[in-house]
């Protein structure tokens, strides 16, 4: 997997690059601002890029702007936005188009190296990776409270993992249950929420997110 990193903090930039190289991935460029990110992506055409939201010159949301622009100009390149804060507004802007090859994670998640790299691989392969914090905020802000209340605690956990972008196997591993049990819970969730059954993971994530945002 080829990864371009955009992060203005040198400690984190070097740490991330070291971590990915250690795992056998290729980091052709690690840059410190949005303009350099655009150039690096255009030049290296990586599988995925990791983008810090706050970068110079204004330290507000230029990383997010750059990420949204990249999704327009290079839809085949996955974008994982990486931030110390979770802002639902940022997530909404990022997910406004499609959820294909997009991720939004808290920087803390890098502590669980395997999960972090799995999420990055998922985004590189066109999947989705949303931080549990983002999903929790979406659930909290959702107006579908009645229907959500009808879910069992286990079904709710499965729904959250679906929204994060995990596959059936990923959900099974995360919750330490069998694939069969996951399928059963998912079927129940879709029935209770009256969602159309979708075959692919992407369509499923999109359906779940749109439902939570509606």
Partner 1 sequence: MTVWQADPTMTTESWVDRLPRAATEPFRRRTWAHVLYALVGLPIGVAGFTLTVTTISVSAGLIVTFVGLPLMALTGLIERGFGDGLRRFANRLIDADVPPAQRFRANPGLLGWIGSCLKDGTAWRARLYLLLKLPVGIAQFVATTVFLSYGLGGLTYAIWRPFLPCQTGHDGGTCHRGASITDRYFLDTPLRIGLVFVTGLLLVMTFPWVIRAFNAVDRGLVRSLLGPTGDANRVEELERTRAAAVDDSAATLRRIERDLHDGAQARLVALAMNVGLAKEKLAEGGDPAEASRLLDTAHTTAKQAIVELRDLARGIHPPVLDAGLDAALATLAAHSSIPVSVHSGITDRPDPAIETMAYFCAAELITNAVKHSGGTRIGLDVRSASGRLRLQVTDDGNGGARMGAGSGLRGLAERIATVDGTVRIDSPDGGPTAITVELPLRAGRTA
C-alpha distances out from residue 132 to 62, 123, 159, 162, 189, Å: 23, 16, 11, 10, 18
**Chain centroid, CA 69 distance in Å:** 17
Question: Least Å distance between CB 10 and partner 1?
Answer: 9
- What span, in angstroms and rounded, lies between the C-alpha atoms of 82 and 66? 13
Residues 108, 147, 187, 210: which binds partner 1 (CB under 8 A)? 108
107 near partner 1, judged by CB under 8 A: yes
Q: Which residue number, 16 or 80, has a Cβ lying nearer to partner 1?
A: 16
- What span, in angstroms and rounded, lies between the C-alpha atoms of 132 and 135? 5
Question: Least Å distance between CB 163 and partner 1?
Answer: 24
Question: How many residues bind partner 1, per CB under 8 A?
Answer: 17
39 near partner 1, judged by CB under 8 A: no
Residue where the block lists tokens 């929420």: 193
149 near partner 1, judged by CB under 8 A: no
| DSSP secondary structure letters along 103-130 | EEEEGGGGGSHHHHHHHHHHHHTT-EEE
Residues 11, 143, 145, 146: which binds partner 1 (CB under 8 A)? 11
Could you say which residues in the range 54-73 bind partner 1, by CB under 8 A? Answer: 54, 59
25 near partner 1, judged by CB under 8 A: no
Nearest CA-CA partner of 172 in 154, 189, 153, 150: 154
Residues 1, 4, 6, 16: which binds partner 1 (CB under 8 A)? 16
Eight-class DSSP state of 52: E
Q: Which residue number, 17 or 77, has a Cβ lying nearer to partner 1?
A: 17
Residues of the shown chain interacting with partner 1 in the complex, contacts defined by CB under 8 A: 9, 11-12, 15-16, 19, 22, 54, 59, 84, 107-108, 110-114
């Amino acid at each position: 997997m080829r990864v371009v990193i955009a992060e203005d903090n040198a400690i984190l930039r070097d740490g991330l690059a070291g971590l990915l190289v250690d795992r056998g991935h290729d980091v052709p460029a690690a840059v410190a601002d949005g303009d350099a990110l655009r150039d690096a992506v255009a030049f290296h055409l990586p599988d995925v890029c990791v983008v810090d939201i706050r970068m110079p010159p204004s330290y507000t949301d230029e990383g997010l702007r750059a990420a949204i622009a990249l999704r327009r100009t290079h839809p085949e390149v996955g974008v994982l936005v990486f931030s110390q804060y979770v802002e639902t507004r940022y997530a909404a802007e990022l997910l406004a188009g499609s959820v294909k090859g997009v991720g939004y994670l808290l920087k803390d998640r890098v502590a669980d190296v395997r999960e972090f790299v799995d999420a990055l691989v998922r985004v590189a392969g066109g999947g989705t990776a949303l931080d549990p914090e983002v999903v929790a905020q979406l659930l909290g802000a959702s107006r579908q409270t009645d229907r959500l209340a009808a879910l069992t605690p286990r079904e709710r956990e499965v729904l959250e993992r679906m929204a994060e972008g995990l596959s059936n196997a990923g959900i099974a591993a995360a919750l330490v249950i069998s694939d069969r049990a996951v399928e059963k819970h998912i079927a129940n969730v879709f029935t209770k929420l009256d969602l159309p059954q979708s075959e692919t993971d992407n369509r499923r994530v999109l359906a779940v997110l749109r439902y939570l945002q509606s």
